[in-house]
Amino acid sequence: MPSPALTPDEYVDAIVRVAEGDASIARVLREILGLDAVVRSSALDLVAAHLRVHSAAGDVLDCIDALKRDAVARRIAARLEPAPAGGDPTTTPPV
């Protein structure tokens, strides 16, 4: 029996917890959430299609679907810390 889908609040909390634990995820989320809603939705559709080919877990696909919802995206963006002023620590500076 499949588990029930999370509420929007639970999706926001789960996604923010993961992002707070990994700066590279937070960076990617900030980029995705900064996109126009239509562009964000289309990009996430492509990501979901790729993950389906690789048999991604249903909860991963559910999270991607949640990121397409404007209300969820706004709440996550509001809760994510902005990137550090000195640059993004998840990228390597050019040599």
Beta-carbon contacts of residue 60 (< 8 Å; ≥ 6 apart)? 51
Query: Looking at residue 3, what is its pLDDT?
Result: 61
- Mean of the per-residue pLDDT values for the chain? 83
The span from the first CA to the last CA of the chain, in angstroms, equals 52
Does residue 35 contact residue 29 with C-beta atoms inside 8 Å? Answer: no
Segment 61-73 mean pLDDT: 91
88 occurs within a structural domain: no
93 occurs within a structural domain: no
Query: Looking at residue 87, what is its pLDDT?
Result: 55
User: Crossing angle of helices 37-53/23-33, nearest 10°?
Assistant: 130
State how far Cα 43 lies from the chain centre. Answer: 12
* Residue 16 domain boundaries: 8-79
Residue 39 predicted with pLDDT over 90? yes
89 occurs within a structural domain: no
Number of domains present in the structure of the chain: 1
H or E stretch covering 88: none
The number of residues making up the chain comes to 95
